[in-house]
Amino acid sequence: MTNVYLLFGLGNPGMEYVFTRHNIGFRVIDELARRCGVKLRQTMREALSVQTSLAGQKVVLACPLTYMNRSGVAAKVLLRHYSLDAAQLLIFYDDLDLPLGRLRLRPAGGSGGHRGMQSLIGLLATQNFPRLRLGVGREKLAGGDLAGEKAVADYLLAPFSAAEEEIVHDAVSRAAAAAELYLREGMEAAMNRCNPAPD
C-alpha cells in the first residue's frame, strides 16, 4: 500500500452530461485539477486521470469513463494500478436526499440507493471508504419522495437551472476545500468544517 490518495468523482462521460445533477462529482474533480494546474487525460480505457500533489499529499484525480452504473469497474482498475487500498479513496457524488448545496463527508457507509455507489461497494467488496456527498435536492422533483424511478432518472440527468448554478458553484468550491482539509488534517477536521449547513 502506497501513500497516495485516489480522489474519484462519479458521473457520466460525454458533453451532454457535463452540467447535469448526476455529474456534480466530476465537477469537483475538475475544480481540484484547476487548483493543481493540471488536466485529466485518458491514461487507461476506464478513466480520465492525472497524478499530482494536493495539500502536501500525492493524489490521483480521476473520473470514470464507464458510466455511472459501472463506476466500480474504473475504481477497481485504478486502485489496482496504483497499488491502493479502498480506504485511500475519496468519492464525490450527488445526493438527492441532501438539500441543494449541502455537503456531507463520511468515512464509510452504504450506497443510499445511489447506483454508482452500489457499483463501487459491490466491486470493491467493502463500504469502508470515505465519501463526500453533494446535495442536489428533491425540491423540484415532481412527486418528491414518491417520484418513480424514471422521474428520478430524468431529474438527475437534467441540467441545473441558472438560479441553481450559483449554489452549485459554491458547493463544488467548498467540496474541493474539504478534500484539501481532509488530506492536510484528517477526516474529523474536514467533517467538522464541511458538514454543518453553510451560513
For residues 12 and 104, give the distance between their C-alpha atoms in angstroms, rounded to a whole number. 21
SS3 76: helix
> Is residue 70 scored above 80 in pLDDT?
yes
Confidence of residue 117 (pLDDT cuts 50, 70, 90): very high
Confidence of residue 144 (pLDDT cuts 50, 70, 90): low
Q: Beta 131-135 vs 103-106: how paired, if at all?
A: antiparallel
Confidence of residue 140 (pLDDT cuts 50, 70, 90): confident
SS3 87: helix
Which triple of cell numbers denotes residue 102? 449541502
The pLDDT value recorded for residue 152 is 87
For 4-194, CATH gives: 3.40.50.1470
> Is residue 1 scored above 60 in pLDDT?
no
The contacts of residue 118 (CB under 8 Å, 6+ apart) are: 111
Nearest residue to 89 via CA among 59, 50, 114, 45: 59
pLDDT tens digit string along 163-182?
999 999 999 999 999 999 99
User: Could you tell me how far CA 148 lies from the centroid of its own chain?
Assistant: 24
> Is residue 2 scored above 80 in pLDDT?
no
pLDDT > 70 fraction of the chain, expressed in percent and rounded = 96
The pLDDT value recorded for residue 37 is 98
Question: Catalytic positions, please?
Answer: 22
The pLDDT value recorded for residue 148 is 81
The answer to whether 66 and 12 have CB atoms below 8 angstroms apart is no
What spatial distance separates the first Cα and last Cα of the chain, rounded to whole Å? 39
pTM value is 0.95
pLDDT tens digit string along 75-116?
999 999 999 999 999 999 999 999 999 999 999 999 999 999
Is 149 exposed, middle or buried (CB count within 10 Å of its CB: 0-12, 13-18, 19+)? Answer: exposed
